[in-house]
Amino acid sequence: MKKVLKILPILLLFLAVAAGCAKHAQPPPPSNVPAPVQSAKANPAKTIGATNASVFFLSNQLGWVAVNLEGQQPAASVILHTGDGGQNWVQLNSPGLSVVQQLAFPDAQHGWVLATTDAAGNNTRCAVMATADGGQTWTQQWTGELQQGGRAYQMQFLDTSNGFALIGDTLIATMDGGANWVQRPIAQGMSGFSFSNSLIGWAVGANSIWHTTDGGVTWHSQWTIPDKIKSEFPDDGGVVTFVSPNAGWALIQGESSMQQTSKLVLHTDDGGSTWTTTSAYLTPADQANLPAAPHYTTSCFVPVSATTALLAASPPTDYPVLYSTVDNGSNWETLSDGMTGASGLPKGTWGDLSFVNGSEGWAAVITQTPTQSGSSNTVSNVALLHTLNGGKTWSNQLP
């Protein structure tokens, strides 16, 4: 995990790139006393009943996948780890809450998960859990109870000390590996962020891109959507990703109509001093260079380098859809069309994608399998796929 253009037919965005803790009153202060977490039990070999998945690869060898399951009592997530590029997988202990929203592993031993579970009434319990032994044991570092619904979750660790998490409308930061978490102000309408170091970062919110030079203590606007297209974008969310201190991408997604969604893809090469609109869906007479299908709701938007990004969508067709740009977004290539499955993608919808460079990446696709031979009843499962050519073709690694 993990992400993104997320393009599910009118689905939750980020994101999406995927779900959210919501608008709410301020959560209780962070709990800084680590608490052991009881591992949830799930079948180690099966991912049947999957509702979603998060994928995070640190290198072309080290990777993690969190599969969220339904039908378990109590509900559980299965976390799988590979040390050989996906040839073999082992199950790690679960951190204990039912839904892992995002994974972050800055090295093989130190990792964090942002997880949630239902609480009393309409509330959701959110927690940050950490491991220092590769996922064998987990401790709870921060917890809060928030109202359900709302903006997406996001977590980023720059190294084993410096990390940030957006949980609903709350931004928290640590400079000591999570021993202490402090709450920071959020940028207006903040729905996504990206930090290049412990002080320099960017955020998306209120149809604007925001910048901080003090670790999120203060934010100022770098770019705001032009007035002439503002009506197309009633602040339905966005994501921003910097692949270097100067090179960054942003996606702003607007209102939806049927299977189409207004969106802007933005790119900068100077740390955000200037942003270029590389792709937009406005009206049929004023479309940029994206093919028609990417105007479905974005599932994942995955910037890979200063010039290369992938946009994943799950339209109301049989197969996931994937597009790629290698020229800063000026032109997009259709890698999978959603109709034939010729690229090796199975029928299903995107869960998550993680690329370590412009060629090699992994994807989780949520598929449907008959409960028994000849039955029309199905159960959801996770297929984990691998590509060595930027997403043009895929091979299956799990199950």
- Alpha carbon of residue 342 to chain centroid: 26
Mean pLDDT of the 317-332 span: 85
Q: What is the pLDDT of residue 21?
A: 32
Element (H, E) at 386: strand 378-387
pLDDT score, position 285: 35
Q: Are 296 and 261 contacting, i.e. CB atoms less than 8 angstroms apart?
A: yes
The more confidently predicted of residues 88 and 73 is 88
331-to-311, 316, 334, 360 alpha-carbon distances in Å: 12, 24, 10, 21
Q: What's the pLDDT score for residue 299?
A: 77
Q: Give the pLDDT score at 120.
A: 64
Residue 219: per-residue pLDDT: 98
Residue ranges in 119-216 assigned as alpha helix (H): none
**92 vs 64: CA distance, rounded Å:** 9
pLDDT for position 46:
57
What pLDDT does 74 receive?
57
Q: Which of these CATH numbers, 1.10.3720.10, 3.30.360.10, 2.70.150.10, 2.130.10.10, describes 6-398?
A: 2.130.10.10
Strands 309-313 and 6-7, sheet pairing: parallel
CA distance 75 to 119: 13
Burial degree of 183 (CB within 10 A; 0-12, 13-18, 19+): middle
Angle (CA) 233 300 314, round 5°:
90
Nearest Cα residue to 271 out of 245, 251, 250, 249: 245
CA angle 336, 364, 319 (to 5 degrees): 35
Closest listed residue to residue 253, CA positions, set 273, 221, 280? 280
Dihedral sign for Cα 204, 252, 148, 156, please.
negative
Flag whether pLDDT at 391 surpasses 90: yes
Q: Is 107 helix (H, G, I), strand (E, B) or coil?
A: coil
Determine the average pLDDT of the residues in 176-199: 95
Share of the chain above pLDDT 90, in %: 41
Distance from CA of residue 376 to its chain's centroid? 32
Q: What is the pLDDT of residue 278?
A: 73
Contact 245, 196 (CB under 8 A): yes
> What pLDDT digit, counting tens, does each position of 207-264 carry?
899 999 999 999 999 999 888 777 777 766 789 999 999 999 998 876 655 445 667 8
Distance CA 129, CA 145 (A): 15
- Which of 1-15, 59-73, 78-92 bottoms out in mean pLDDT, i.e. has the lowest? 1-15
* E strand intervals along 304-347: 309-313, 321-325, 333-337
pLDDT of residue 93: 84
* Rounded Cα gap, residues 193 and 161, in angstroms: 18
Work out the average pLDDT over 168-182.
94
Whether residue 18 is predicted with pLDDT greater than 60 in this model: the reply is no
The pTM is what? 0.82
Cα 396 to Cα 68: distance, rounded to the nearest angstrom? 19
Q: Of 30 and 341, which is predicted with more confidence?
A: 341
pLDDT for res 254? 67
Give yes or no for residue 392 having a pLDDT over 80: yes
**HSE-CB for 57 with a 13 A CA cutoff:** 25
> Is 37's pLDDT higher than 80?
no
Q: Tell me whether residue 246 is exposed, middle or buried, using C-beta atoms within 10 angstroms of its C-beta: 0 to 12, 13 to 18, 19 or more.
A: middle
User: Highest mean pLDDT: which of 47-51, 83-87, 200-204, 275-279?
Assistant: 200-204
Q: pLDDT class for 388, splitting at 50, 70, 90?
A: very high
pLDDT tens for 294-304 read 456 667 899 99
Contacts of 11 (CB under 8 A, 6+ apart): 297, 299, 314
pLDDT in the model for residue 48: 65
Q: State the number of CA atoms in the 13 A half-sphere of 131 facing the CB.
A: 25
